[in-house]
Structures are given as C-alpha cells and as structure tokens.
Structure 1
Amino acid sequence: MRLFLCEKPSQAKDIARVLGANTRGEGCLTGNGICVTWCIGHLLETAPPHAYDPRYKAWALDHLPIIPDVWKVEVKAKTASQFKTVKKLVAQASELVIATDADREGELIAREIMDFCGYHGLVQRLWLSALNPQSVRKAMAELRPGESTVGLYHAALARSRADWLIGMNLSRLFTLMARRDGHDQVLTVGRVQTPTLNLVVIRERAITSFVKKPFWEVEVNLLADGHSFVGKWLPPAECLDADGRCINQPMAQHVSTQLASGQARVVELVIERKTERPVLPFDLAALQEQCDRQFGMAVDETLNIAQSLYETHKATHYPRTECPYLPESMLEEVPTVLEALGKSDASLQPILASLNRQQISAAWSDKHLDGPHHGIIPTTEPVDITKMSEKELKVYDLIRRRYLAQFLPDHEYDRTRVKLATGSQHIGATGKQIAVIGWKALFKPEVDTELKDAESVTQPLPQLREDQICTITGAGLKSLMTTPPRPYTEGSLLKAMRNIAEQVDDPRLKATLKATTGIGTQATRASIIKGLLERGYLEKKRRALSPTTAAFALIDAIPELVKNPGMTAIWEQASDEIEAGRMSLEKFLAGQHQWLERLIQQCSTATLALQQTPPTPCPDCGAPMRRRTGKNGAFFSCSSYPACKGSLSIETGKKRKNKPTDKSHNTDGNR
C-alpha cells in the first residue's frame, strides 16, 4: 500500500481529492490503491524527566543535569486514537510519502512516527508550497527521494532536544536556587524565550533611565518665484552636540530674530534622481511586521490568518517562509496567477490592465533562494474572497498587492538638497518631487511605513537655481526634547529576534551573526512572544510590550550566558549546519551537554539576585496567592490549594466566578 502521511486533516483532504482517494475510513481516506492519513500536528511528544527516572518527579539540585542517554517519546493522550490508526497504516505500508508541511517541523512530525513505528520501507517526499489542486498535481509529478530531506529532521531534532535540555534543566536549577534563598516562585527559563525577554527588559530600562535633553531648531519660511517652502537654520559646529542637535539656546534665539526677514541666496543645489524597485513579496516576518504596524495585529494572529489563507482558502502559498524571493521557474505561472486574481476580484481589473506582464522584477531570482521556500504570493486558481473574514481579506490584499507590484514601473523621484546663505548664517532645505509613481500607486502613503525612506515625507521644493535670491518671510524658534527609545511592539520585537546582530555589541559576535537568521524560527517566534504574555512575563498596553516585575526578577537572577541573545543565535546557526550535513546531531548535543554541566556546576552554589515581591493574599483564607497557568490561561490560585480553592483574575484582580478545576501547566521552559 502507498501511504501519504499528512500533518492535518484539511491538508489530507486536499491531497486525497487530487489523488482520487475519496472513500472515508477510520482516520484516513482511501482509493486508487492509495491511503491518505493525518497526524493532527505532533502525535508524539518528548517524554518528561520522570519517564527516565521516577525520582525526577521531585525537583532537586543533585538530579541536575538531566541528560537522557537514549531519548524517549510518548504518545500524546489527546490524539492517542489517531496515533493508533496511523501506526496500523504505517505497518501496512510498502511505500510512504511524507506529505506534512514542507519545513523542519513537518519533517519531524512525520519521521518521529516512522522511527517510533519502526518503518524501514521506501520513503518519498511531497514538497508542497500551496494546497490548490494545480499545485498538488505539480508537486506529485516532482516527488523527492526521502533521503533528500533527512537533514531537516536532524535539524528539527536538534532544536527540539536543545529546548528540552535547557528548559527542563535550567527552569529547575534557577527555581530551586530561588527557593533555597527563600523565594517562592517558579522561574521559567527557555532557550529562546529568555533571551527574547531580555531584549524587552533591556529596552524598558533604556526607556526608564533615559534623561531628556533640550535642543532647539530654527525654521525659516522662504519664498521663491511665488512659491513658499521651509528651511532650517544650519548651526555652526560649536553649537551642536554629538548627534548634530543645537544645544545653544541663546544663539538659536538670536538667530531666529535675525532671520525674521531679509533675503537668502542659493549657494548649493543638488538634485538627484532616485529609483526604488518594486518591493519584494512577503516572507512571514515581513508580513507580521507590516500587519502589526498597519492593522495592530498580534504576530500570532497574523500567522494564523496566513495559515488560513494557505490551508482553508487555498489563496496563497506556504506562509512559514524566511525568503521573499521567487524561483525563476514560476515566471511561467504569471499569466495564470493574474487571470485568477481578476476572476477572484473584479475591482482589480483597472490595476491588471495597467501591468507590464513581460516585466521580470528582482523578485524572481534563483540565486537568492536561501531556503526550501519562496515568498508568499497568490495561487494559480481563483478564490472566493466573500468567504474570507475582514481580517483575512486585509492580509490577502497586502499579499496580492506585493505580487502585482512586480509588474509596475520603478518608483522614481527627484531629491533636492539646497543650501542658502544670508549674512553669516546658512539655511538648508530638502525636497522630494515624485517623477514616476510606479508600483507605489498600489499602496496608500499613510500606511506605506515599511517602504518609506528618511526623505520620503519631505516637502516638494520650487524650481531653484544657484545664485537665486529667495525672500525670507519669517522664522520661528522650536524648543524640542530628545525622546527615549520606543517600547517594543510584537512586530518590532519579532524584527529584533530576526535581526539579532543589531542587538549585539561585541564586534566579533556581531560579525559572526551577520549571516544568521536570528533567534527562534519563522514557525516559533510568534508562539514565543505569545508564551511570554501568557506566562505573565510581558504585558501589552495597546500595541506596546512591557516587562512585568517577574520579568525583571528573572532576568536579573540568571547569568549572562543564559539570557544573551547573541549566544542563542550562535546555537541557532548550528541547526543550519546540521540540516546541510556539515555537523552531526550527536556533536551538537554533546556541546549542549557540556555547556549545561559547566553552567550547573558554576551556578548551583551561587546566590540569586532575586527581589521578592509581596504575595497577593487569598480573598478566602488570607494565604499567599501563586500565579498559575491553566487550560483557560493564567490566574492567581491560593497556595493552600486544594484545601482552599480561592482564585483571582490576573486582569481585574477580582475573585473568579468559576473555581479552578484544571491543573496548572508544566512550568519547565520549553523554548
């Protein structure tokens, strides 16, 4: 039997429909000698510490580090019935086609089942970038040999096992150290979670410690050939601070009075024609950042919508991509994609009529394809946009406009810099005049924040020439203050995680990290940020993220090696080496083991710099409350539970109507 192993039921239905496997069975679809089954995500999970030794149920320093000799996985209880079906089908299969998501995690989902069930037959890989019928048929004609994607599995295992080792060991280590020093709180530590939290703590401290400093600007109103424009006084060097701001108020005040009237002569005039090529299609991070800025969407919400556009609506290609470029072979699909867009939405017809369909933009570039996936673009078949929610349509519209931009002219503008002299003072002005709107006609200027450069919001200047005399019609002194760094939003934090080299001061480490893709992956970054919010380490006020008291306590308590984002990014690079076959999984894990052993040895006798926050009293019995996470999210629970079942809402601080009956989640870090 030929068995197709998919990741989700919806994915299995799409593939089975194309293959003619339309007979419903128990946890599968069959027909034409083919069986298609699914996993519902991970059917197996890494076993907890006590699966290796029952004594690990209790947390103790002398148990650490917990390092399995032979790694174990367990069947997830919630999906045990589907695993039973899959195991039976795998045993009957003479050929198995891995049809899970085309990424490391998808490879892990399939191959951990194959290993657990002892499958040793023929393996092929179905590599899907879209789930519409035409894309499925094309992928079926290009099945890959199973051995070609084994590196993805090993890289995913490396990440999964490193997460387990660090989360299980370090959460226990620092929690036990805190308890030894009299602090009653669980310190959740994760391989990526903790360095990410550190970024927010560092930013928050930069904001709170920021000292505002005054500076001054003089704006000068000018008139040339009947056209007005605004310039700024250019202070001499002795009036400026290190950042080029005028800090000499008396001088600025004097100049503003001096420049209230008179004339100024153009002494320098530079006009440059600037060209901006069409913006590339989205990768996942760019899409999440844009939706955060433009719509205020949380990054996990954008990911879910992008996944829905891919899986449910078959409207776009696979979203969990780190590459915005497209393979050159996809140029042949351009007419079909554009036709499908027109059939899907008649309002696009004027735009479609203006396109140069023969234009090949920089987006199509095989040499820039640095991973298994390409940019997120529309599929080749019409979709019913009326079935999309309002938010889905917004995200879909962003994706399709980025694609359409590839067939419009470059955006061109003239950037003018002018310097004027009046007496001993100089005035500068900058202007921008659009020459060709080009692809930017697809985007509203007020929301086009990602695409703007520093000059794009400047004024249009009148036609000027050197030695021209302009009339000064007035001047005004502006008293300004320096501003602190902005708080992270989910989108800007995700960008910081991705471009981690920008957050590192060490020049040697920064140079090494230039080639890395950051900390976390496209598939995990959103869940890491969401987890920090759910665990009570981050709070969200409107769009701004801020660390809680627990976050400061955790970051202050643990050593630099654990929270340093640069070191974490170096570990992330090792996954790429494993995928490429340049490093073995065993060598990587051996390095993790040695690092853990040294860290635990160094820290186990230390004292944590942990501040104890006053415990919240239980409204029923007065005992201290503890923060817990249950199936409905985080809440405060009485430390005397189950004798007392008092609980408080974290959001309101008021008693919860429903007593907590669910057990709190495992507090060991997992990422």
Structure 2
Amino acid sequence: MKLIIAEKPSVAKNIADALKVKDKKDGYFEGNGYFITWAFGHLLELFDAKDYDRKMAVWKLENFPFIPSTFQYKVKSDPRNRDKPDNGAYKQLKTIHYLMQRNDVDTIISACDYDREGQLIGDSIIYKIKTDKQVYRLLLNEWTPEAVLSGLENLKPNTEMRPLLDAGISRQWTDWVIGINLTSVATLKYQKGKGKALNIGRVLLPTLKIIYDRDREIENFVPEEYIKLTATFQLENLQTYEGIYAEDGEDKFKKKEQLEAIEQAIMNKNGLVIDKQVERKKEYPPFLFNLSNLQGYITNKYKGWTADKVLKVAQGLYEKKLITYPRTSSLALEESLIEKAAKVLKSAAEDLPYKDEIKFVRSKRIFNNAKVESHSAIIPTYLKPKRLTGDEEIVYRAIKNRFIMQFMPVAEYEETKIQTKVMDTDLSGVFHTKGKIQLVEGWKKVEKIESKDTILPMIEAEDQVVVADQTISSHVTKPPKPHTEMTLLRVMETCGKSYKEEDSEELLGSILSGFSIGTPATRADTIKKLKEVGYITAQNKNLVCTELGRKLVETFPIKDLFDLEFTGRLEKSLSDIEKNRVSQQQFLDVVFQFTNKAVETIKAGQDVTIHQVSLETRSNEALGNCPVCGFKVIEGTKGFGCSNWKNGCKFVIWKNDKFLAAMKKKASKTMVKALLTNQVAFVKGLTSKNGKKFNAYLRYEKNPEQDYFSWKMEFKK
C-alpha cells in the first residue's frame, strides 16, 4: 500500500477522486492500493520561547537576545488556549503516524503544495517520527484528475527536495528569531502601558516604510503652476482641429506673459500643416496573471476587495481544481504546458460569441521557460465550473479572460501626428496635434475594453489653415498618489528596483528574480497584518500610515529592517538556498548575528515612547448568568466571558468568533444579553457565502459530550 499525505482535506478528496477511492475512514481514505490522508496546513509549529526556558514566560530585557541552540517543534497550539495543543491537529497527526507505521505501507508520498511552505509542512510531519520507508514527492501545479494520475507516474525522491526544505526552514527560523526577539525588546523599551505588543517583523517594517515614504512625498510636495496655449485651426471645408504650442518639444511654460505675446501674434493668422505622420501600432494583451498582478487587478477594479481576500478566493478555486497554483511570481507558462494549454483553450472558448477569432499559438510571449520562476502563471484548468459564489466568479472570470486574451488577434490602432506652423510670425515653435483610431479590436473584445478615439478631420501635409481661436489655460502639477494595494504589491514584488508606475508588466516580471519583499504567498498577509497591528489604515482604496506607524518608522533604531535593499537581499538568499546556491547555515549565521546586534542596540539606546497604550475603562456590567457555573458574564477586551474564569470556568463568546465572522458579523453586547436571557438571539444582516443578506435566530449551546459550545441557526416564519 502507498500512503499519500495532502496539505488539506479538500486536496486529499481531489486525489481520492482521481484514483476512484471512495471508502472514507476517520481521517483518511482507503482503497485501490492507497491510503490518502491530510494535514490542516501546519500541524506542527516551533516551540514558544517559554517552552525552551520557563524564565522566558515573562518578558525581561535581560533575557534577550534569545536564540535556541536547536529549534524544536510541537503540535500547533489551540487558538483559544496557547498553552494547550489543538485537539484536531493532535488527532490528525496521530492518524498520519499510525498509517506511516502500518506494516502494509511501503511507500510514503508527500502531496503538499509545491512550494517552500508545502515542503516544510509535509517533511515536518513525515520526519517527526523515524521511518526507513521510501519517501517520494508529488509535484503538481493543479489538482485535476489528469494531472494527479500523470504526477503519480512521475514521482520524485523526497531527498531531491532538500534545498526547498532548507529554504522553508530558514524562512521559518528567521522570522521566529527576528520576530520574538525584536518584538519583545521593542515592546519593553518603547511601549508604555499594557496592550498589544509593538510588532516587529522582517517583511512588516520595509512594507510600512514604502507607505510612509509615499505619505511623506505627498506631504512635502510643492505644486507648480504651468501654462499651455491651445489653438483651434480651421480647414477650407470649415472643419476644425486643435493643436498645443510647443518649443523644442516642451509644451508647458512658466511665464504667462510669454504665451500672451504668442496668443496676440497668432490671432487670425494663416497656418500651414508642415508635417503629417501616420503610424499603425499594435497593442498586445497584458501578460498572464501572477498572484501579485491578479491581486492588483481585482483590488483596483472591485470595491471592498483586499489582496488577502483575492488570495483566499484563488486558493479555493485551486483546491476545487478550477485554476492552477496561484502563489506564483511568473507571467508566462512552461513550454511543457503547450498541449495542456491548447486543451484548456478549447474548453474555455466553446461558448464564446467571438470563438472564431481565437487561435492557439505557441508564442514565446506565452510559453517561455526563461520567464518561469518555480511555478507557471495562473490559468484555468480544462474543468468547467458548475457552481461558483459571487466572489469566485469575479476571480475565475478574470483569470479565464486573461488566458483567452493571449490567443485573440493583437489589437491595432492608427496614430496620426500633425505639426502646424503659424505663418507671418517669428515663432520658433509649432503646434502639435495627435489623433488615434482603433482599427482592430482584437483581445479587447474579451472584456469589452473601449478605446478612446481622437478622430481628426481629413488633413494632409501642406494644407492651408486659419487660426480660428486660441486659449491660454493654467494647470498645476499633481502630487504622487497614495499607495493602493495594487501599487504596493508591485513595489514589494520588485523591491522598488527600477520601478515606475507606468513600467510594463514584462519589465516588472523580470527585475531581479527572487529579489523582493516577501513572496507571492506572504505579501497579502503582510498588508493585512499592518492594518491589524495599527501601523496603516485603509481610506477607500488608499493605504496610509497611522500615527503609530509614522512614529515607529521615525524612532525605531534598527534602520536595516526598513531598508528595501536589506530585506531584498534576505529574500534573494532564501531563493538561492532553494536553488542550492547558498548554504542554510551561512544564511542563518548572518540572521542570528544581525538579531544579536539589533537587540543590544535597542537595549543600549535612548528610552523613548513610540506607543502609549491607553487603558480602556470597561464597566463590569453583568450581561447575564453563565450557563456553565451561574456567575456573571462580563465584557472583556477580546470577548464576553465568565467572571469566574480565575477558578477555571471557560465560558466565553469571542468578539471575532469564526462562525459569526464567516457571515460578516461580530458578537455584540445586545446579542450576548439575548443569548444569556432567552437562550436565543435574533440577528439581522448576516451575509451568506453568495454575498446575500439574511436574518436568523442563533443559539449558543454546549455540546453534550464535550466542554465546547457551538452555534445553531434557526429560521422561524
């Protein structure tokens, strides 16, 4: 028998479906020569500092820096009680290890995601116990039945994946060491009052600095006024066109008097068309999506979307076998995917009104091994979705449309440039006019992209014209725009290297491969965390620093952590470990030395307050009686809990309860009072998976066999 370990239950189900295994047991599938089991992402996590040494349970400056001589792992903690292991993770780990040790299992196959984290998740579980059985790796970019069966025919020995594991471990240990040490020391040194820690992170701070720098640019921007002169020219047939006056190619002028003199000089004068250039130009479709570009596109186009939400929806589509692996930085496909892409295109194009214009091509713009970093760009699979939620529809349609665009005709337009000289004047400049007409709509049909045409009358060189009107207009230079999630993701992707907002996606995709802030998988989480810890805030689509974020950038003394170059070099080194170009130990030595030095710098530095935690005064108003012990239930910072908690009563309704959060609700005082008084609460404005609002009666009841409470929903007429 072969044992396959997937990263999530949904992926295990996809593998079972492909192998036609239908017999589901407690924690695994069995049949046709296979056991198929699963993790829930990470089942194991690194020890907390206090697990190594009890004195670390209390934060004291003299206890830092703290770097374990060997890093150890434990079953991941219960999110409600960090001192206890998560029951579900513990049970599933036991199931996996039981299957691994069965005498009838001769082969173990890790089928976790094909990336650093996936390698780490699989290997941490497999090598937690000693095994002399052969371990293989299933490396897939999609979970369609065809891909699963093909992948099982082409397994790799897991030993070949060691560099990927080393990179995953190095990332994990680095973030633990920098995060634990600098967050603790910074909080002790720079925060007054008890509250959330002052969060310091390897990826968090340079991302904050990008937003801070843009905010400062906007604040320090001094607007400059400039003037333009526009003339209206009339042809013999009385048709008109406009031209803007320019000298040596410059059409913006500082002195109004200069243009006023020209305005007077050209009034009612004749003009001559001295040059006409007509050029037919091609517009290629935007490149296939990588994760950052997909997140940027969706967050920019649709209100209320965040990069984190795009990733979650895309991950769901991937696990439903509808798209390829989403956590990619590539804008092209591997050349080995040519046949697969042709099959996908045939399936995607079947019902389209313009399907006759879609032609499969083996273009280097689409298929190019040199442009693929680990994973190919995101495309649909050949499977057609049967049912999608509103959110899934938005993300799936964007990916499908972008794929189809690559095989549509190239859009073409005609650009006309005209130069008009006013006669009988001593002007050194001429008037410039541009016209544009879309000739071939091509790929723009896919998303009904409308081109703005500027249609000129029929004009030829040497045509005589008359100045019919002239206007001087004042303009002011505009400050840079605040960062949005789209622009921030682009700067993170390229570490700010050679980046201008008008740069082409192709250039962005090729800048310093591996030299970035974070990875496609972690950038969305970084933006989300910056909001959660209060360093930035969202104002509509714009991201701006809070007062706390600004203070941190201006005061925190470890400037390397704000430096894009420094962070980029660390990320590049992780990428090089993955490619077996840099040793893991070399990298970790650098990180540990940096951490030790940073801690000593903070400890020896000036005592300043970056964050003053204001103590929220909460009334101990009783909301009702605890259903477990009868004591009063009161409001706390994170939830509504029993006042008898010191004696062990665990009753609590969390403010960010996951069941309620899934329906976009938070527990409120009113809701809790109703539940405690009437055992039921009528809750309005819940949101379904499809985004529809509804009302329901909720109960919060103790499970008869356990200590846990769970929600029940009712609909009464």
- Could you tell me the TM-score, scaled by structure 1's length? 0.84
* Distance in 1, Cα, partners of 2:669 & 2:543: 26
Tell me what 1:642 maps to: none
- Indicate which of 364, 367, 379 corresponds to 1:365: 367
- 1:308 is aligned to 316
Aligned to 1:451: none
Tell me the distance in 1 between the aligned counterparts of 2:512 and 2:578.
Answer: 19
Pick from 556, 563, 566: which aligns with 1:558? 556
Given the superposition, is the C-alpha separation of residues 391 and 220 from structure 1 closer, same or farther in structure 2, using an over 3 Å criterion?
A: farther
CA contact under 8 A between 1:132 and 1:381: conserved in structure 2?
yes
Q: Any idea what the Cα deviations from partners look like across 1:406-437, whole Å, max 9, x if unmatched?
A: 22222222333332221314211223232332
Instruction: Judge conservation of contact 1:361–1:407 (CA < 8 Å) in 2.
Output: no
Q: Which residue of the other structure, out of 535, 549, 552, is the alignment partner of 1:537? A: 535
Q: Indicate the SS of the match to 2:561.
A: helix
Structure 1 residue 483, shift from structure 2 partner: 1.3
Deviation at 1:568, TM superposition (A): 0.4
2:570 aligned partner, one-letter code: W
| 1:501 alignment counterpart | 496
Matched, 1:525 2:532: no
Structure 2 distance, partners of 1:75, 1:41, is 12
Equivalent pair of 2:334/2:372 in contact (CA under 8 Å): no
State the match for 2:677 in structure 1: none
Amino acid of the residue matched to residue 285 of structure 1?
A: S
Q: Which amino acid aligns with 1:373?
A: H
- 1:461 aligned to which of 436, 456, 462: 456
Q: Which residue identity does 1:578 align to in structure 2?
A: I
**Residue correspondence of structure 1 range 257-276 to structure 2 within 5 A:** 258-259=265-266, 261-276=268-283
Tell me by how many angstroms 1:458 deviates.
Answer: 6.7
Q: Matched residue pairs, number? A: 612
Question: Deviation of residue 610 (structure 1)?
Answer: 4.2
Read off the aligned partner of 1:497 and give its amino acid letter. M
Change (3 A) 1:120 1:489: farther
Specify the SS of the correspondent of 1:117.
coil
Instruction: Tell me how far apart the structure 2 counterparts of residues 648 and 95 of structure 1 sit (CA, whole Å).
Output: 46
Equivalent position of 2:487 in the other structure:
492
Match of 1:664 in 2: none
How many angstroms apart in 1 are the aligned matches of 2:316 and 2:238? 56
Could you tell me which amino acid in structure 2 is paired with residue 415 of structure 1? E
Q: Aligned residue for 2:68?
A: 68
Bigger Cα displacement from structure 2, 607-616 vs 425-434: 607-616
SS at match of 1:188: coil
Displacement of 1:596 in angstroms is: 1.4
- Structure 1 unmatched ranges of 5 or more: 447-455, 622-627, 633-644, 650-654, 661-671
Tell me which moved more, 222-231 or 424-433: 222-231
Q: CA deviation at 1:306?
A: 1.3
Alpha-carbon distance between aligned partners in 2 of 1:535 and 1:614, rounded to the nearest angstrom: 13
In structure 2, the residue matched to 1:287 is 294
- Residue 154 of structure 1 and its aligned partner are, at CA, apart by 1.0
Match of 2:179 in 1: 167
Match of 1:668 in 2: none
Cα distance, 1:474 vs structure 2: 1.9
Work out whether 1:177 is the aligned partner of 2:181: no
1:9 aligns with 2:3: no
Alignment of 1:342-491 (within 5 A): 342=349, 346=351, 348=352, 350-357=353-360, 359-384=361-386, 387-422=387-422, 423=425, 424=427, 425-445=429-449, 459-491=454-486
| AA at the equivalent of 2:318 | Y
Question: Is this contact kept in 1: 2:548–2:611, CA < 8 A?
Answer: no
1:94 is the counterpart of 2:97: no
Q: Which residue of 1 aligns with 2:245?
A: 233
CA contact (8 A) 2:190 2:608 kept: no
Q: In 1, distance between residues paired with 2:516 and 2:478?
A: 28
Alpha-carbon distance in 1 for matches of 2:144, 2:571? 33
Does structure 2 conserve the Cα–Cα contact (< 8 Å) formed by 1:430 and 1:458? no
Counterpart in the other structure of 1:591: 590
Matched to 1:325, the amino acid is: A
Q: Shift of residue 463 of structure 1? A: 4.3
Amino acid at match of 1:3: L
Shift in Å, 1:295:
1.6
Distance 2:639 2:140 in 1: 34
User: For 1:127-176, what per-residue CA distance to the aligned partner results, in whole angstroms no more than 9, with x for missing partners?
Assistant: 12112212222222222222232221111111111111111111112122
3-state DSSP of counterpart to 1:251: helix
Residue 236 of structure 1 and its aligned partner are, at CA, apart by: 6.6
Q: Deviation string for 1:163-208 (max 9, x for gaps)?
A: 11111111112122215x8998732100001110111111112112
8 Å contact 1:558–1:608 — kept in the other structure?
A: no
For 1:517 and 1:567, how far apart are their aligned partners in 2? 10
**Contact 1:360 / 1:407 at 8 angstroms: preserved in 2?**
no
Provide Cα deviations, 1:518-545, integer angstroms capped at 9, x if missing partner.
1011111011111111121111121111
Give the aligned partner of residue 24 of structure 1. 24
Taking the aligned partners of 1:613 and 1:477, their CA distance within structure 2 comes to: 54
* Structure-2 change in CA distance of 1:629 and 1:397 (3 Å): farther
Q: Are the counterparts in 1 of residues 497 and 511 from structure 2 also a CA contact under 8 Å?
A: no
User: SS of 2:496's equivalent?
Assistant: helix
Aligned to 1:546, the other structure's residue is in SS state strand
Is contact 1:7–1:38 with CA below 8 Å preserved after alignment? yes
Bigger fraction of residues in helix: 1
- Contact kept, 8 Å, 2:639 with 2:655, in 1: the verdict is no
C-alpha contact (below 8 Å) 1:175/1:186 kept by paired residues: yes
For residue 127 of structure 2, give the secondary structure of its aligned residue in structure 1. helix
Deviates more, 1:15-24 or 1:327-336: 327-336
Q: Which has the larger radius of gyration?
A: 2
Alignment partner, residue 145 of structure 1: 157
Partner of 2:604, secondary structure, is coil
Residues 226 and 118 (structure 1 numbering): CA distance in 2 closer, same or farther, change over 3 Å? farther
CA distance 1:292–1:230, change in 2 (3 Å): farther
Residue equivalent to 2:714: none
Alpha-carbon deviation of 1:574? 0.4
Question: How many angstroms apart in 1 are the aligned matches of 2:239 and 2:404?
Answer: 37
**Corresponding position: 1:221 with 2:195:** no
The one of 541, 544, 547 aligned to 1:546: 544
- Once the two structures are TM-superposed, the CA of residue 501 in structure 1 deviates from its matched residue by 3.3
- CA distance, structure 2, for counterparts of residue 305 and residue 325 of structure 1: 22
Flag the 1:513–1:223 CA change in 2: closer, same or farther, 3 A. same
| 1-structure distance, mates of 2:541, 2:395 | 18
Q: 1: CA distance between counterparts of 2:547 and 2:672? A: 26
Q: Which amino acid aligns with 2:484?
A: T
What is the root-mean-square deviation of aligned Cα atoms in Å? 3.2
**Match in the other structure for 2:218:** 207
1:337, distance to aligned residue in structure 2 (A): 1.8
Identical amino acids, percent of aligned pairs: 28
Which structure has the higher relative contact order (CA within 8 Å, separation 6+)?
A: 1
Give 1:134's match in structure 2, choosing from 146, 171, 180: 146
Secondary structure in 2 matching 1:212: coil
Structure 2 distance, partners of 1:546, 1:490, is 11
Shift of the alpha carbon at 1:502? 3.2
Q: CA deviation digits over 1:231-275, x for unaligned, max 9?
A: 2121579xx7xxx74221232344445555433322333333322
The secondary structure found in structure 1 opposite 2:354 is: helix
Distance in 2 (CA, whole Å) between partners of 1:300 and 1:191 is: 19
- Tell me the equivalent position of 1:107: 119
CA distance in 1, matches of 2:145, 2:234: 63
* SS of residue paired to 1:230: strand
Contact 2:349 2:404 in 1 (8 A): no
Question: Which structure 2 residue ranges, 5 or more long, are not aligned?
Answer: 77-84, 501-507, 621-635, 641-651, 657-667, 674-717
1:90-147 Cα distance to aligned partner (Å, 9 max, x none):
2334211111111111111101112222234212111121122122222222222222
Q: Equivalents in 2 of 1:393, 1:106: separation in Å?
A: 27
Q: TM-score, normalised by structure 2?
A: 0.79
- d(CA) in 2 for partners of 1:128 and 1:648? 39
